[in-house]
Amino acid sequence: MVEKVGDIELTNEYWDCECEKNFIQLRSQEICPICEAVQEEQPASRVSEVLKYGFVGSEQESESERIKRLALVWMKNNINENEWVEDEWTSLNDEFDLNVYIDDDGNKRATVFPVIDGETDLENFIEVL
């Protein structure tokens, strides 16, 4: 989910470590293996930087990480973060649909849903932003 702090938009799905490059970490990564920054002590990532740089994945990228990366690449190429769409659905591929939207509380969101037998499974999802 995206939270606005003044003019800055932050996402609770990622955090910034202290590395000069490749500083965006997934929330599931508790400690940066390079700089050893601890997630609890670091700030949430800026949406603009997540869309621009993506995130640092693990050596063995999980299915969830792969899906988030796929969604972020699509968003980087198709969504202007300053003109966030109210509700847009797109197919990332035959296996996943992406919904970019503004929720009932006015928060920007991006969620991936699996496609099973041609139908979007709304019960299972992965939050991207």
Reported as a pLDDT band with limits 50, 70 and 90, residue 39 is very high
pTM for the structure as a whole: 0.82
Lookup result for tokens 């019960």: 123
List all residues 6 or more positions away from 22 whose beta carbon is below 8 Å from its beta carbon.
34, 53, 56
Q: Specify the number of domains making up the chain.
A: 1
Sign of CA dihedral 117, 54, 84, 110: positive
Asked if residues 4 and 129 have their Cβ atoms less than 8 Å apart, the reply is no
Which residues constitute the domain of residue 99? 2-127
CA 129 to chain centre: 4
The predicted-structure confidence for 51-64, as pLDDT tens digits, reads as follows 999 888 777 778 88
- The predicted structure's pLDDT at residue 40: 94
